[in-house]
Structures are given as C-alpha cells and as structure tokens.
Amino acid sequence: MADGDFLGGVELISPVEFAKGKIQAVQDYALLSVQSVTNLFKKPLYIADFIQQADSIGVGSLTITVLTGLSVGGALALNSASTLGRFGALSLIAQLVSIGMVREIGPVFTGLMVAGRNASGMASEIGSMRVTEQIDAMRALGTDPMKKLVTPRVAATVFMLFFLTILADLLGLVGGSIVARVMYGLDWHQYWTTSWQILAYSDVLMGLIKPLLFGFIIATIGCYYGLTAQGGTQGVGRATTQAVVASGILILVVDFFLTRLLMTMLGYR
C-alpha cells in the first residue's frame, strides 16, 4: 500500500515512514536539548523571562507541592506502621519515611506533579504561539525563539524543581511525624532525631541530583511538543496531552536507571 493511502478516512503510514518520523523526532528533541543548554552561555540571556518563568513554575507549584509532600509522607508512615507493628518496631517509622522521601518518593512525586502542571502549560503556550505564527514573527524580527522561549523555561524549571523537591521532602517528614505522633503515640523528639541521624550524605546527594535531571526533562519535553504543534487548536490540545504523558513516562524510566547508576557509584548494594 502506497504512502498516503486512506482506510476508513484515516491516513495510513508505512512502517518505514513511521520509523523515520520517530527517529527524526528523537533527533530534533536532542538538538533542542543541547541548544537549550548552550544558549545559557550566549548573550542575550533574557533574565526577566527567567524570573517570570521561575515565579510561574516555582511559586505556582507551591500548593500542589505542599499537599503532595504532606499526603505522601503521611501515607508512607501509615503503610509502614501497619507492617512494622507486627514486629514491634514502630520506632523505625521515622527511618523508613526519611529514607523513602529523600532518596526516591520526594523527587519522583514532585517531578510528576510539576510535569502535569508545567509541561502542559509550556506545550500549550508555545504551541499557541506556533499555530498563530507568533514564532515566525519573532524570527522575522531577529529574535531566536530557542533563546527567548526555551532556555529561560529550562533554566527556571531546573532551578525551581530543586527547591520544590527539598520542600516536598521536608513536608513529607512533617506528614509522617503527624501520623506517627497522633495515631501511634511516638515521641516528636525521637522521630526527628532518628530521621536526621539515619540520613547519610549519599542519600541526600541522590535525592538532590534527581530533580535537576527531572526539571530538564519536564521543560525540554514541554517546549519540544509546543514547538512542533500543528493543526490549529486541536493540534495544541494533542501537544499538551503528549507533553504530559511523555514527560511522566520519561521521568519514571530515567529514575530507574539513574537510581541504579547512583547506587553503584555511591557504593550501595
């Protein structure tokens, strides 16, 4: 069947053309990612755009970060207690919540929440600019859309997600402490002392490296789908959905391999 044939009103694409399209998409995304970093070392830097995006991404995500941290920390303590109680080891709740939030749950959940909110926003905003030809107008006026639109968003997302993750980790510990104290009668001082003492330098390092990479993924994915949106308002809607799905999946996949790599480098068994 020739390329461009139709079946039931749906255009059919040959496997070869489909594979070429996917390879081209990966290449375009890789190029966008590299340019977003190299543009940080070129003038102009668009500091005002960076501050605006940092406010939108960071301050705008505070509510969802607070709720996520508290609820996940509380749920982690609740589920841990149901198992530890069988062995008379409820005092270990603080250790499990502390290690779980800092090393894994805090960075991943915060990344997913920020991706759902901001990857979609970037894709829809830039996608709308593309279908209304505003990006073409920027090029005609001598402004590089990559430097103006993409680089500030990437830098702001990486910067703010780092601090949002720290906040989520802290609130996760707070949520766990509330559950441990109110429901199981554990001492506040003992909980926080144990939470602090169990953390090693390698645990904190692992938990702080992840949001840097997750933030980069969120911003570059959102900007890529926005810049490649086509087909009017329906195309913008598709780009928004694809950005959220792709960034979420990529965060989970990268988290697995990054965790394994860091565990090997930091001497975990």
Q: What is the DSSP letter of 85?
A: G
Question: Domain boundaries in the chain?
Answer: 32-38+45-265
Q: Are 55 and 163 in contact (CB under 8 A)?
A: no
**3-state DSSP assignment of residue 10:** strand
**Considering only CA atoms, which of 177, 29, 26 is closest in space to residue 94?**
177
**3-state DSSP assignment of residue 11:** strand
pLDDT digits (tens, 9 = 90+) for 234-257: 889 899 999 999 999 999 999 999
pLDDT digits (tens, 9 = 90+) for 138-187: 888 888 889 999 999 999 999 999 999 999 999 999 999 999 888 888 88
Q: Are 153 and 161 in contact (CB under 8 A)?
A: no
At 160, list the tokens: 């703010």
Distance CA 114, CA 158 (A): 11
Preceding amide of 44 cis, omega within 30: yes
Strand partners, 6: 11
pLDDT reported for residue 20: 85
